[in-house]
């Protein structure tokens, strides 16, 4: 079902992630899914888990932990901005 939704931040940086370790890629994937769920509206929360983390890897692997943290904040901010910004704010920037 996620493939039918509009493009979100989880599809960014695929070429850059191909040269990293498996743990880093898994951390990025899990962190981004959690970040999208946290920053999105109720509709997207049906498709993205808000607790996607491997407790074993996050405590032992610095690659997984760093990737999860970076991906969470990147995907959270990107999704929040895309979904929470008003259409009218692009036309009327000075009026609030």
- Span 50-75, pLDDT tens digits: 777 777 787 888 888 999 999 999 98
Instruction: Say if CB 45 and CB 37 are below 8 A apart.
Output: yes
Calculate the dihedral angle through the C-alpha atoms of 44, 48, 50, 51, rounding to the nearest 10 degrees.
170
The tens place of each residue's pLDDT in the chain, 96 residues long, gives 455 555 566 666 777 788 888 899 889 888 888 888 888 777 777 777 777 777 778 788 888 899 999 999 998 888 888 777 665 555 555 544
The answer to whether the predicted template modeling score (pTM) of the entire model surpasses 0.75 is no
> Do residues 44 and 83 make contact, with C-beta atoms less than 8 angstroms apart?
yes
So where are the chain's domains?
Answer: 20-87
Q: What angle do CA 28, 54, 49 make, to 5 degrees?
A: 70
Q: Tell me the two tokens of residue 24.
A: 């880093």
Kindly report the backbone phi and psi dihedral angles of residue 15, in degrees, each rounded to the nearest multiple of 5, phi listed first: -70, -35
């Amino acid at each position: 079902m996620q493939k039918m939704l509009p493009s979100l931040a989880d599809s960014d940086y695929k070429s850059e992630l191909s040269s990293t370790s498996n743990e880093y890629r898994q951390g990025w994937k899990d962190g981004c899914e959690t970040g999208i769920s946290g920053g999105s509206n109720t509709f997207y929360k049906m498709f993205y888990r808000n607790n996607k983390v491997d407790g074993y890897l996050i405590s032992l692997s610095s690659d997984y932990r760093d990737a999860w943290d970076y991906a969470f904040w990147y995907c959270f901010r990107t999704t929040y901005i895309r979904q929470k910004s008003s259409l009218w704010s692009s036309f009327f920037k000075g009026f609030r």
